[in-house]
Chains A and B, each alone.
Chain A
Amino acid sequence: NAGVMQNPRHLVRRRGQEARLRCSPMKGHSHVYWYRQLPEEGLKFMVYLQKENIIDESGMPKERFSAEFPKEGPSILRIQQVVRGDSAAYFCASSLDSGTGASDTQYFGPGTRLTVL
């Protein structure tokens, strides 16, 4: 059973370009979470999605950032008009259940390291 897959692993963009980060959850998992990690810091929650629904995007900047988890295909985190401050590692996690369920352990992907020049 493959784990959470993320691609690309490294992404370099110039200021003003768009960044698209992809995440395929573990097989059978329908809950996806995106986190951002700045250097020397812990991960910060960005958004929680289920298939075709955004459940909680309270951790996501209001502008330039969007996320989706379509019926078919991976979850996408999209950053428009990137700025240097967007440089970070972006991690995706998935779980079988959420909240206080018995299967709410979140399994993380290897991350995408975004560098904005």
Chain B
Amino acid sequence: SQQGEEDPQALSIQEGENATMNCSYKTSINNLQWYRQNSGRGLVHLILIRSNEREKHSGRLRVTLDTSKKSSSLLITASRAADTASYFCATSNDYKLSFGAGTTVTVRA
């Protein structure tokens, strides 16, 4: 079964608003990664957070990790039209990434 499960499945927001999506997983992990995929394209690595970290920032991205709840969140602040994409969380215990089905984010101009 899939390790990571994103929520919500789809999100539509106005440009300038913040977008928050969540990821829950089932078993212990070494790290959790977030990727973006534009329609019909490859995956772009956004951020990696290790199991001993609680929060990480990268530009307009903020990722949190709560290992006690087995969940993570990705926050995109001040969204832009170019942020329209699918976002996936991927958990890892070793080298094998387990992906959820993703959250599709649409940013309206």
Residue in B closest to A4 when the chains form the complex, CB atoms: B42
A91, A98, A100, A105: the one within 8 Å of B33 (CB): A105
Query: Are the CB atoms of A99 and B41 closer together than 8 Å?
Result: no
* A61 → B minimal CB distance (Å): 17
Interface size, chain B (Cβ < 8 Å): 25
Query: Are the CB atoms of B43 and A42 closer together than 8 Å?
Result: no
Q: Which one of B41, B88, B97 has the greatest number of beta carbons of chain A within 10 Å?
A: B97
- On chain A, the residues within 8 Å of B30 by CB distance are 99-100
B4, B31, B35, B40: the one within 8 Å of A108 (CB): B35
Q: A42-B2, A42-B102 are in contact. Are A56 and B96 (CB under 8 A)?
A: yes
Contact residues, A31-72 vs B (CB, 8 A): 31, 33, 35, 40-45, 48, 55-56, 59
Contact residues, A87-104 vs B (CB, 8 A): 91, 93, 95, 98-100, 104
Bound together, the chains give a CA A24 to CA B45 distance in angstroms of 18
- On chain B, the residues within 8 Å of A110 by CB distance are 41-42
Query: Are the CB atoms of B95 and A109 closer together than 8 Å?
Result: no
A-B contacts, CB under 8 A, total: 64
Q: A91-B42, A91-B43, A111-B42 are in contact. Are A42 and B95 (CB under 8 A)?
A: no
Interface membership of A106, Cβ < 8 A: yes
Query: Are the CB atoms of B99 and A43 closer together than 8 Å?
Result: yes
B4, B31, B41: the one within 8 Å of A42 (CB): B4
- On chain B, the residues within 8 Å of A106 by CB distance are 33, 45, 97
- On chain A, the residues within 8 Å of B45 by CB distance are 105-108
Bound together, the chains give a CA A31 to CA B95 distance in angstroms of 9
Interface membership of B11, Cβ < 8 A: no
Residues on A close to B: CB < 8 A? 31, 33, 35, 40-45, 48, 55-56, 59, 91, 93, 95, 98-100, 104-111, 113
**What 7 new A-B contacts, CB under 8 Å, besides A93-B43, A99-B94?**
A43-B97, A55-B95, A91-B42, A104-B92, A104-B95, A107-B45, A108-B43
